[in-house]
Amino acid sequence: MIRLELTKLNTVQDAQSMLQTAIRVEFGTLPPYLYALYSIRPGMNAESRKLIKSVVLQEMIHMCLACNMLNALGGNPELLPQTYPGPLPGDIGPDGTPLTLHLYRFSTEAMAQAMAVEQPENPPNFPTGAVFETASTGAVTIGQFYHALDNFLASLPASAWQTGRNQIVDNQFFAGQLFAINNYAGAKNAIADIVSEGEGTKQGTTDDPLDFQGEVAHYYRFGEIYHNKVLTKSDNPLGYAWGPAELGVDWAGVYPAISDPSIHDFSKEPQEAQAAQNACNQAFSAMVDALQRAVTGEDGALGGAVQAMFRLRMAALHAFTVPLADHSHTAGPAFLYKSTQTGESV
């Protein structure tokens, strides 16, 4: 689960702050997922690749929807890249333990981490009202986090919402999945999408692994890879089981990439490896800056951001192929950000 600190919401500014955290969370999950995705060797692990990519795309959509909500409430989204290893924004992880995210190549370790990020929780004895009545110092799931936000947003007057402010819609990308939020109804839909795609839906008190579209939710997609089993309908009381069909995971079908390249000393690595890192960091920084412009309303900037994403992808795919000095490892992108707005290089 993505666990987040929840404090009592009293003002629109509180909600804006909460949404800003949500944006950071959605954005912060992307580098670990991308690191695992791009570390897969060409032609290998097609099903796993498809599943991870599908989650990545939905996390991007979630981030944009969170930005749309924040913009509709008059806030200004800020994309603040985090470093890896590092904590998820919100500082909380499974079972109350802060979750520190690492950049792992495609592996059981990477999938276990992803499952920890997306893990749903079924809190039947944790009614929504109680969440508001006392300022919580404990951890909550992303579902509860958004539920609390939803309840507060429902209480806002219509005048709190601004129509058409800096909205990112599906006219270019993500048909049917990205939509403008101009009022509470739109926000409610966005929250429902985000929660169910991450954690699944609930049937009474039972977690349903399918999201609102009938697709497998993120936690379970990663679970399928982790277990190398297709999540399958079953007669057991839970309704589903892992397998029996295998997904076709080949853990060896991956580049021998080191973990957490951001804490690796590249000064002793071959020049090509250093250049590959620089190219990745520059591409990542350019993407962040373009995305920042897009989520704050610059017309056409999303197209620039998407192009930058593709450049990051190309740079990352290349980096995974460049041998380090030990001749047995490579390194993927460290996702280190330095503003490209000022002309500084990474």
Partner 1 sequence: MSVLETPRIYFKGEVAWDPIVTNNFDTNYDETTGKTIYPSVVNRVKAFREQAIEEPGNWNPHGTHRAVLYETSVSGFDMGNGVNTDDPFVSAAVDFTAMLVDLEPYGTISSQLYFDAMRFGVDGGYRISAPRTSRVTARYINFARNSANKMIAGVASVVWQTSFAKTTGLRIDAFDSPLLQTLAGSIEQDDVLGLTVRFNTYRTIYYDNPDLTNGSLGAKAAAQALITKLKRGGFQPNPARSMVVGVVGLWRKLEPAYEPGDRVLIPATDSPIGSAYARLAKTTLTLDLSNSVPEVDKNLTKKDLGVLNVVAVDSAGQVVLNLGSFGYGEYNRAAYEMSAGIVSIPLAPGIAQSAVDSDLHLRDAAGTPLLEEMAVRAIPATPNLYLDEGEDVVTTFQAYIRGRLAASRVPVTLFQLGSGGTKLAEPRHLLTDSKGVLTLSLTKISEGITAYVPSLSSVDQPVNGINPQVSTYMYVRVRPGDAAVAALAPTWENVYSKVLANWSAMAPCMDNWLKLDDPVQIKAYASVLKRLTDPAQFENFSFMPVTRDLSAGERALLYNFLDSLDEGALGKPKTQKPLGPNFVELSRAMRRGSKE
| DSSP 8-class letter at 98 | P
Does the protein bind partner 1 through residue 318 (CB under 8 A)? yes
- 191 vs 318: CA distance, rounded Å: 36
Does the protein bind partner 1 through residue 310 (CB under 8 A)? yes
# chain residues binding partner 1, by CB under 8 A:
35
For 189, the token pair is 């839909």
For 175, the token pair is 């048909």
Burial class (CB in 10 A: 0-12, 13-18, 19+), 230: middle
Stretch that binds partner 1, among 16-24, 90-98, 99-107, 295-303 (CB under 8 A): 295-303
Q: How far is the CB of 282 from partner 1 (least distance, A)?
A: 16
Cβ count near 97 (within 10 Å): 11
Q: How far is the CB of 105 from partner 1 (least distance, A)?
A: 18
State the DSSP H helix or E strand holding residue 194, giving kind and residue range, or none if neither.
helix 184-199
Does the protein bind partner 1 through residue 128 (CB under 8 A)? no
171 Cβ contact list (under 8 Å, min separation 6): none
- Say if CB 6 and CB 148 are below 8 A apart: yes
If the CB atoms of residues 235 and 265 are measured against partner 1, the closer one turns out to be 235
x-marked contacts with partner 1 along 201-220 as a string, rule CB under 8 A: ---------x--xxxx----
Does the protein bind partner 1 through residue 295 (CB under 8 A)? no
Stretch that binds partner 1, among 82-90, 153-161, 167-175, 191-199 (CB under 8 A): 167-175
If the CB atoms of residues 86 and 243 are measured against partner 1, the closer one turns out to be 243
If the CB atoms of residues 88 and 315 are measured against partner 1, the closer one turns out to be 315
- Say if CB 251 and CB 227 are below 8 A apart: no
Torsion of CA 63, 69, 75, 81, to 10 degrees: -10
Residues forming the site for partner 1 (CB under 8 A): 42, 169, 171-173, 175-177, 210, 213-216, 224, 230-233, 240, 245, 290, 299-307, 310-311, 314, 318, 321
